[in-house]
Amino acid sequence: MSGVVVVGAQWGDEGKGKLVDVFAEKADIVVRYQGGANAGHTLVVNGLKTILHLVPSGILRPETTCVIAAGVVIDVFSIREEIRRLKDSGLLQNPKQLMISDSATIILPYHKALDAARESALSEAKIGTTGKGIGPAYEDRAARRAILFGDIFDRETLYKKLELALQEKNFLLEGFYKLSPFKIDDLMKDLEQVAEELAPYRAKDNSLFIAKSLKSGKRVLFEGAQGTMLDILHGSYPFVTSSSTLASNACASTGVGTNSIQKVIGVFKAYTTRVGSGPFPTELHDEIGKKIQADGHEFGSTTGRSRRCGWLDLVALKYAIRVNGITNLALMKIDVLSGHDRIGICTSYKLNGEIIFDLPTSPYDLEKVEPIIEWLPGWKEDLTKIKSLSDLPRPTTNYIDYVGAQLGTPIDVISVGPGREQTLWVKPLFNN
């Protein structure tokens, strides 16, 4: 079975979008399996930048079918905007290019209002969410009161579900957070318009479609959002998102068997970044951190917030390899590290005076660890125009070899710039 998962191996923004767009050339189907419009996946093709939030990163390949799985939380207004933009720029011409699962959960304005209200109530202890309503929408799903994508096409069901939801949401918003309530008639009117526009993309059974496609030998790429360290169960809780970001969830969220997965590609940057609050052991608060931030344009593609930057963290990466079952790695943004005399790599942590090599599961311990940094020689050359691995400067190759050996996992792809063509191939994606 030809299923490959692309998963973020750090705290998100590793370059998953670029990689999926590159891989999509060889894929028949690209499935986005979790998260929502909190994601910002950037694709650069012929110098033209496209930022996707919900639409899978295979959309710039007209022959590829893009699927949004049941495990995604869809802000229907946001996806309508995204689709309009893609259509306006001629990038989405055939509705058959995009299939949205009827079983996915939808995000409505009250989810966003609650997300914002909860964050401001936390004041100093903020998670630093994207404000896209992700947490409240997944709460509704778990509480078995979510409104599904398929519901927006059935007026009666939608009205009943909205009425029930608003009783509680408005009580919370007005009574607890002292905010304005939402009116059912306004929401119904807006949703009717959205439903009309999104109807061509409606797909009743994506799970069946993908199972049949895999059986007939089609190649399916599963695109993760966020990253391992933001996973609801295995990330740096509570500073995480509200979905399972791990590769295993590609199957659960889409409704395909785990035996469909041939490879799990872990995407990581040559350094580490994090947006929002929470522990970040290798964070740099100095000029080097600022240089990485400036050279890597480390500003969020969803919220525009500046991303915190630090050296590569092998302890966290080894953890990601283990919990996802990563079989192959893609090393992104190596070009950003040009111009440093020496490059730091965290190989272990010190916790309460002891050296440890495994990521502590307690968030309180993760706050306390000190990174132990090994130093490698840097390089000055611009890597962005390099076309072949053999043209990389010697210290860059040493850096890549060192990281690969430490991680004990093959690095299959090296990326030297945001553009599709700035990708140095090591190994093909699919085995067949």
Q: Any contact of residue 330 with ligand GDP (CB under 6 A)?
A: no
Minimal CA–CA distance to 274: which of 8, 63, 89? 8
Q: Which residues bind ligand IMO (CB under 6 A)?
A: 8, 12-13, 38-41, 127-130, 132, 134-135, 225-227, 230, 241-242, 275-276
End-to-end CA distance of the chain: 9
Q: Is 18 in the site for ligand GDP (CB under 6 A)?
A: yes
Select from 6, 7, 22, 44 the one that contacts ligand GDP (CB under 6 A).
44
Contact 190, 77 (CB under 8 A): yes
- CA-CA distances (angstroms) from residue 326 to 5, 259, 430? 9, 15, 15
Cα 273 to Cα 281: distance, rounded to the nearest angstrom: 11
The residue number with the shortest CB distance to ligand IMO is: 276
**Spatial distance between the Cα atoms of 302 and 296, rounded to a whole number of angstroms:** 16
Which residue is catalytic, options 13, 21, 28, 231?
13
Partner from ligand IMO, Mg ion, ligand GDP, none contacting 44, C-beta within 5 to 8 A by type: ligand GDP
Q: Which does 135 bind (CB under 5 to 8 A by kind): Mg ion, ligand IMO, ligand GDP, none?
A: ligand IMO
Kindly tell me which of 273 and 409 has the beta carbon lying closer to Mg ion.
Answer: 273
Q: Binder to ligand GDP among 13, 28, 75, 82 (CB under 6 A)?
A: 13
Minimum distance from CB of 321 to ligand IMO (Å)? 18
Residue 64 near which of Mg ion, ligand IMO, ligand GDP, none (CB within 5-8 Å, type-dependent): none
**What angle separates helix 109-122 from helix 155-170, to the nearest 10 degrees?**
20
Using CB distances below 5 to 8 A depending on partner kind, what does residue 333 bind out of ligand IMO, Mg ion, ligand GDP, none? ligand GDP
Q: Does 158 bind ligand GDP (CB under 6 A)?
A: no
Can 154 be counted among the known catalytic residues? no
Evaluated on CA atoms 89, 93, 96, 97, the torsion sign reads negative
How far apart CA 151 and CA 183 sit, in angstroms, is 18
* Binding status of residue 166 toward ligand GDP by CB under 6 A: no
307 touches ligand GDP (CB under 6 A)? no
Exposed/middle/buried for residue 20 (C-beta within 10 Å: 0-12, 13-18, 19+): buried
Measured torsion, CA atoms of residues 34, 36, 42, 48, in degrees rounded to the nearest 10: 120
Whole-angstrom Cα Rg for the chain: 22
- Token reading at 242: 């509200």
| Given 2, 5, 11, 15, the residue binding ligand GDP (CB under 6 A) | 15
Residue 418 binds: one of Mg ion, ligand IMO, ligand GDP, none (C-beta under 5 to 8 A by kind) = ligand GDP
Q: x/- binding map, residues 336-375, to ligand GDP, per CB under 6 A? A: x---------------------------------------
- Please list the residues that pair with 269 across neighbouring strands: 332
Catalytic site residue from 21, 28, 41, 140: 41
Bridge partners, 29 (sequence order)? 65, 220
**φ and ψ at residue 338, rounded to 5 degrees:** -65, 145
Question: Per rule CB under 6 A, is residue 403 in the interface with ligand GDP?
Answer: no
Report the partner that residue 336 touches, choosing among ligand IMO, ligand GDP, Mg ion, none (CB closer than 5 to 8 A by kind). ligand GDP
CB 239 to ligand GDP: min, Å = 17
List of E strands, 270-388: 272-274, 308-310, 312-313, 328-332, 342-351, 354-356, 370-377
Q: Is the backbone of residue 84 left (phi > 0), alpha (psi -120 to 50) or beta?
A: alpha
Cβ proximity of 330 and 413 under 8 Å: yes
Cβ 392 to ligand IMO shortest distance, Å? 26
Residue 383 near ligand GDP by CB under 6 A: no
**Cα–chain center distance at 357:** 26
Rule CB under 6 A: say whether 415 interacts with ligand GDP. yes
Using the minimum distance from each CB to ligand GDP, give the nearer residue, 39 or 392: 39
Using the minimum distance from each CB to ligand IMO, give the nearer residue, 213 or 226.
226
Which listed option, ligand GDP, Mg ion, ligand IMO, none, makes contact with residue 276 (CB within 5 to 8 Å by class)?
ligand IMO
Q: Is-catalytic flag, 13?
A: yes
Task: Name the site residues for ligand GDP (rule: CB under 6 A).
Answer: 8, 12-18, 39-42, 44, 297, 301, 332-333, 335-336, 415-418
- The residues carrying an active-site annotation are 13, 41
